[in-house]
Amino acid sequence: MYDFLKKPLCLHNTVQHYKWGSTPPDAYIPQLLGIDGEKSTNYAELWIGAHPSAPSKVNIEDNLVSLTNLIYRFPKFILGKRVADQFNNKLPFLFKVLSAAEALSIQTHPSKGQADLLHKTDRHHYPDKNHKPEMAIALDSLTALAGFATYFQCHKTILQYPEISSFLGQDALSDLFPHRKLSRKQQSEQLRQIYQTLIHLTQTKPGLYQRSVNTLAKRLQSKQHRHSLRESLFLDSLEKYGSTDVGLFSLFLLRIITLKASEAIAISPCIPHAYIKGNIIECMANSDNVVRAGLTKKFQDIRTLMTVLDYTPNSVRVISPTRVNNTYEYPVFTPEFKISRVELIDNSQIFNTANKIEIFLIINGDGILSWNFNENKEKISKGQSFIVPGILDNYTVTPRSPMTMFRVQVP
């Protein structure tokens, strides 16, 4: 019964063409998929999963069927009984390849409780009830803004740019940076006040904000020496979004993190962040809830933003995977997913599913995928992704050339 489900299923995925994505000939996603990218077309994200906005499709008896619909019809066969029961018959994670040529918007994602409330009050901007913890793993490198810088770094930065300190005002600066030692909790509270004061002034004194932004830009453009990464981001964003964008000054308060290949960051709910440049593997809870905080022309919910943000300084750490034989495991920090990178050189490897759904993506190499004690086999290669239904106990991958694959499971 349902023999067509008792096998790994090749996925047909959606490419998202957001404006910040990379373009051919350097675009990563067309190279991964082995396709000729269209000139001047942005290849930003490859979505792999069952999100209703862009679900993957599978070929069932010569018909392309939405993975969302397939799970709806056969939840326990596809997800496995434990996952189906735990996540209300839904795939709990969304898997992506992301290729950023320029900065994404500064954003945060609500917690589960906040997402539920936002969905009830504004379904158009908050399309689901779920939170969106996510992990970003650099394929080559990644530069990102992630979390607030320390209280002392923010103070130093504001003093470094008199246009920002002048905009805040001397009275505000005295309150925000008192001449006394502060505990870590007090520093976090001061960061909250610094950020909220800055955002409040952008809304109540827009003319002064624009003049301050333009004055800083003029001074930076007249500099003879090279701009810092933060200054370049400021100038590029000003050109794209105009001098009213609230993110132009607030980006000076966030921490810049640079990842090398295989390093990662985990973004918990309510952490402000923006990926600036790089190619990454990204995995998250199955949600598209975003509260934007600048560097964008899209909807920005300033009131919600200031309410939900986590102001803890240095809240995001660079993660290196733990190696177990040929597998590089990333830490589990949410119940929706765990992710690992597998390097196969010449030996076959059996993967046990524990009767829970998993998805894998091949980013290098080719080989043979087999199941049912090697009775069934299929050629696989770079750029392909597969869903392994929970009804299948295990599968085997035999490399024909050195292979790298990312594997996403439910913990």
Which residues contact residue 321 at a Cβ distance below 8 angstroms, ignoring those fewer than 6 apart? 262, 264, 328, 329, 330, 340, 341
From 73, 226, 292, 303, active-site residue: 292
Yes or no: say if 296 and 242 are a contact pair by the CB < 8 Å rule: no
Per-residue CA distances from 49 to 68, 146, 243 (Å): 8, 25, 38
CA contacts within 13 A on the Cβ side of 223: 13
Enter the tokens of residue 346: 């010449």
DSSP per position, 298-323: S---HHHHHHH----BT----B-PEE
Among 133, 60, 137, 69, smallest CA distance to 98 is for 137
Per-residue CA distances from 380 to 48, 287, 342, 362, 367 (Å): 17, 29, 15, 8, 5
- The amino acid present at 329, given as its one-letter code, is E
Yes or no: say if 106 and 293 are a contact pair by the CB < 8 Å rule: yes
Distance CA 349, CA 388 (A): 15
Among 54, 41, 42, smallest CA distance to 98 is for 42
Strands (E), 49-179: 57-60, 63-66, 93-100, 107-108, 134-148
Q: Is 123 a catalytic residue?
A: no
Which residues contact residue 84 at a Cβ distance below 8 angstroms, ignoring those fewer than 6 apart? 75, 76, 390
Enter the tokens of residue 320: 């290196």
Yes or no: say if 390 and 80 are a contact pair by the CB < 8 Å rule: yes
Distance CA 47, CA 76 (A): 23
Report, as residue numbers or ranges, the catalytic residues.
292
